[in-house]
Structure 1
Amino acid sequence: MTANPTPTAVLVHGAFADAASWNGVVAELQGHGIPVVAPPNPLRGLACDAAYIASVAAQIEGPVVLVGHSYGGALISVAGTAENVVGLVYIAAYVPEEGESLGELQDRFPLSPLVSNLKEATYPVRDGEPAVEVTIRAEAFPEIFAADVPADVTKVLAVTQRPLASSAFTETASAAAWKTKPSWALVAAADQAINPDVERFGAKRAGATIVELAGASHAVAVSRPREVAELIRDAVRATS
């Protein structure tokens, strides 16, 4: 019996970051011979972002393991219904139910410090009024997003944030791929951006294989790339 080809790990970053946040994880996975793609996440809304990620996955030849960090977790929950997706990995992520918004999921638990440290701005939308987007206030960014990352790195990350459309918190997920695909989840136990209880709740509800990292910040893929890559490797091995 011939083994299935090694799945490609598609790494989906979340809000306030870009694909470079996966650099350490990419290096670890490539060192173990795992094919990787880390596409840009548009961060313009749950439905359109998930459609983009689904299109990326669908155009990859062979099986795919979708990996979502933070808001990216919501995207892989929707995009994971793509036929060639064989597994889902949630990294310090939201894991929404079908018909549930991130705001509704978040409101089940005490709000994290992130919520009171968001800065609003507007951006132009074709044929409509300007829309609202949010970033983390630069002075609060290190503690909230990346407390276990060196200060010189967080200073750079704070000013290179990619904003998230605020509508992403109110749009509802059109699917929950974890109901039909196996899942894994990493809980960042010292997360100040998403309440770790939100991560735990979603992961348990999905029946995910859960790993919890004590002292890990929201930027766990930056601070602990080896442990993050190890969980992804587990998912790739299990679905090969």
Structure 2
Amino acid sequence: MWGTSMNSLFLRKSATCVAAALLPFFLQISPARAAGSGDSVAEAMSAKPSIVLVHGAFADGSSWDKIVPILQQKGYTVVAVQNPLSSLAEDVAATKRVIDAQPGQVVLVGHSWAGVVITEAGNNDKVKSLVYVAAFAPAEGESIADMTKDAPPPPYAKSLVPDEGGFLTLTPAAVATYFAQDLSPAIARTLAATQGSWQSHCLQDKVTTAAWKTRPSWAVVARNDRMIPATFERAMAQTIGAHVTEVDSSHVAMLAKPDAVAAVIEEASR
């Protein structure tokens, strides 16, 4: 007991000292002081919007690696969300934390499964527009399972590897054949190694409020997509009234055709 009390006292004193030492630093870099006036919020809102990129299933934030530098070089603040792929609610929460951290308006971009995520997370006053990249775009009360109930099983279904908790991954061969067939074998191997496992229950998670009803939307259709058929992507884009751009690419259009995808994002930012 004595040792625990002393340790607690030491930790409290240490934390107080550290906080006191860091306080001037945080004051120097706070948005209000950096702006030099009470107009910092208004200035942020008038600046270029931040670009928030949300990765899909069987991926992580590095799937945006070719998009990030293109947009940064054009003066945009870019953040790639690392969503847990564990449920719609948890992925939306992770995305909203990033949105809330931005000083002004946001262009919200989602790939694949993340189209569901941005449809829900986009209901935020900061979100200016939505960009769907080879992505699902459900309506209110709709899940991926609902949207695809009449479709045949996808060709990669037998290549999904479940774990004991119901999380799914794609085999390296499936990544090379269905997910990123137009990228080099080396890149496909890297994508397989860095993929995030996706909770299968996400298929049943339903959107409650569709942000595309109240915000302008853009869609990139991947003509050679083997994960979500291009015909399906076109139909969803038409349903939500999106501005559509088509590219000759696999499911990972942001890696196969980064300049074209970045151009769509930039258009959505204007």
TM-score by length of 2: 0.81
Deviation at 1:236, TM superposition (A): 0.7
Do structure 1's residue 42 and structure 2's residue 84 form an aligned pair? yes
Separation of aligned partners in 2, 1:212 and 1:63: 26
Q: What amino acid is aligned across from residue 223 of structure 1 in structure 2?
A: A
Tell me if the contact between 2:107 and 2:130 (Cα under 8 Å) persists in the aligned partners: yes
Aligned twin of 2:16: none
Q: Which has the larger radius of gyration?
A: 2
Number of aligned positions between the proteins = 227
- Residues 1:218 and 2:260 aligned together: no
> Which residue does the alignment assign to 2:34?
none
Report the residue type matching 1:28 in the other structure. I
Instruction: Say if 1:116 and 1:197 are closer, same or farther in 2 by CA, change over 3 A.
Output: farther
Q: Which amino acid aligns with 2:95?
A: I
Residue 104 (str. 1) matches residue 137 (str. 2): no
Work out which of the residue numbers 201, 217, 242 in structure 2 matches 1:167.
201
Point out the more displaced range, 224-233 or 154-163. Answer: 154-163
- Which structure 2 residues correspond to residues 8-23 of structure 1 after superposition, within 5 A? 8-23=50-65
For 2:234, the equivalent position in structure 1 comes to: 200
Superposition deviation, residue 60 in structure 1: 1.1
Please state whether the residue corresponding to 1:169 is helix, strand or coil. Answer: helix
Alignment of 1:31-180 (within 5 A): 31-122=73-164, 131-180=165-214
Provide, for residues 62-109 of structure 1, a one-character-per-residue CA deviation record: whole Å limited to 9, x for no partner.
000100000111100000001110100000000011100111112344
What amino acid sits opposite 1:171 in the alignment? D
Whole-angstrom distance in 2 between the partners of 1:94 and 1:174: 15
The root-mean-square deviation of aligned C-alpha atoms, in Å, is: 1.5
Larger relative CO (CA 8 A, sep 6+): 1 or 2? 1
Q: Distance in 1 between matches of 2:205 and 2:216?
A: 24
State the distance in 2 between where 1:95 and 1:165 align.
Answer: 19
Q: Distance in 2 between matches of 1:221 and 1:72?
A: 13
Task: State the SS of the aligned residue for 2:166.
Answer: strand
The residue type paired with residue 187 of structure 1 is V
Moved more, 173-182 or 135-144: 135-144
Deviations 1:101-156 (A, max 9, x none): 1111123444432333211112xxxxxxxx30101122221011001111111112
Gaps of at least 5 residues in structure 2 are 1-42
Cα distance in 2 for residues equivalent to 1:106 and 1:114? 15
1:220 Cα deviation from its structure 2 partner: 1.2
Query: For the Cα contact (< 8 Å) 1:69–1:90, is it kept in 2?
Result: yes
- Percent identity, aligned pairs only, is 40
Amino acid at match of 1:6: K
| 4+ runs deviating over 6 angstroms | none
